Chain A
Amino acid sequence: MNDDEFLDVLRAAADEFDPVPAGVLRDASAALALRSLDAELAELVEAEALVRGDEPVTLAFESAHVTLNLEISDGVVRGFVTGAEGEAVVETPRSRRAVPISDGWFTAAEVPSGLVRVRVTSLDGTPVVTEWARG
C-alpha cells in the first residue's frame, strides 16, 4: 500500500472515530443568521495581549460614530461608550442581553464565555455593532 492509499485508510478511520459532530454542523449552518447587515461596524483597534487565562480581557473598538471599550472577566462585560446612549445589547452566538447605558457605562453579567459583541445606537440614531471578540 503506498502512502496515498494508507492516508485514505486513515481518513476512513477518522471519519468513523472522530467525525464532525452533528451539533457543530448545525451551529455552523445557523451562523449565517448572525449576520449584521443593518449596522455600522466598530472595528477592534486594540486588544490587550493575554498570557494567562485569569486576567481580564480589555478591548477597544471604533467606528465613524462611536468608540467602545470593553473589559471582560468571569462572564462580566463592562463597557464604556462614547457617541451612543440608551441601551447596549451584549450578544453571544446564543444569547443577547440589553442593558442601560449610564453616563457612558454599562455592565452585563453572566455572559457565556466565547465570542461576544455589543450593539449600540449612536446619538444620531445609527445602529453600530462591534466586531466579534473572544471574552
Chain B
Amino acid sequence: MDIPASLAAAARGDQAAWDALVRQFSGLLWSIARAHRFSDADAADAVQCTWIKLVEHLDGIAEPERLAGWLATTARHECLQLLRRAGRLPEPAEEIADSPDPAPDVDHAMLVGERNAALWRVFEELPDRCRRLLRVLMASPPPAYAEVALALDMPVGSIGPIRQRCLGRLKALVRGNEVLEERS
C-alpha cells in the first residue's frame, strides 16, 4: 500500500484512505498494547488514543513513509501514560538467558489446528520480556524491526538476537507440553 498517498488522502478527509491505514496498522497497535499486558478495555483505550493523536497530526507527519514508526512510538507513549495513570510502572526488563540446551526443533505437525490453543497458553508462560517482544513480532501484518524497536524502546540491533533466544525458550516449553508434544 502507498502509505504517504493514503495519509495525504486521509488528511483531505478521505474516509476510505483512512480506513485503509486503520486496517494496515491496527494489528501492530493492538499487539503493542497487549505487549504491555493491558486488558481488553485498556488496550482499546491505548489504540484509540493513538489513532486520535494521528488525526490531530494528520498534516504534521514529517516523514509519511515512516508512519508505522510514528504510530509505534505514539502507541508506546500512550501505553506508558496509561500505566502511570493507573499507578503501575513498567517492570524493569530481565535478562534473557539462552536455553540450557540448544533449542530443540519443533515440527510443524505438532502445531496445526486445535493445538494453537495449547501453543497460546504456553506462550503466556514466557518471561515477560520475551512475551513482550514476541507479541509485537506476531502482529499482522508482520512489522519491521525498526517499528518493533520504537514500540518497545529497544535497540534495533538487539531484536534479532533476543528474538532467537525467546523463540528458543518457547520451543523448549512446547517440547515440554503434553498437548503439543503428543503426535496425531
Contacts and interface: CB of A to CB of B under 8 A. Distances in A.
A3 B119 contact: no
A21 B38 CA distance: 14
A85 to B, nearest CB: 25
A1 B18 CA distance: 38
Contacts of A34: 52, 55
A74 interface: no
Nearest to B163: A3
B52 A93 contact: yes
A97 interface: no
A38 to B, nearest CB: 13
Contacts of B10: 32
Contacts of B27: 20
Nearest to B78: A134
Contact of A14 (B44, B48, B55, B140): B140
Given A16-B116, A32-B18, A53-B87, A27 B48 contact: yes
B26 A25 contact: yes
A124 interface: no
Contacts, number: 126
Interface residues of A, number: 39
B15 A28 contact: no
Given A25-B22, A131-B56, A6 B116 contact: no
Given A53-B85, A53-B86, A134-B81, A6 B167 contact: yes
A17 B13 contact: no
Given A24-B30, A35-B13, A132-B53, A7 B44 contact: no
Interface stretch (B92-100, B104-112, B151-159): B104-112
Contacts of A18: 30, 34, 120
Interface in A2-36: 3, 5-7, 9-18, 20-21, 23-25, 27-29, 31-32, 34-36
B164 interface: yes
A114 interface: yes
A24 B47 contact: yes
Interface of B: 10, 13, 15, 18-19, 22-23, 26-27, 30-31, 34, 40, 43-45, 47-49, 51-56, 58, 81-82, 84-87, 105-108, 111, 116-117, 119-120, 123, 134-135, 137-140, 142, 163-164, 167, 170-171
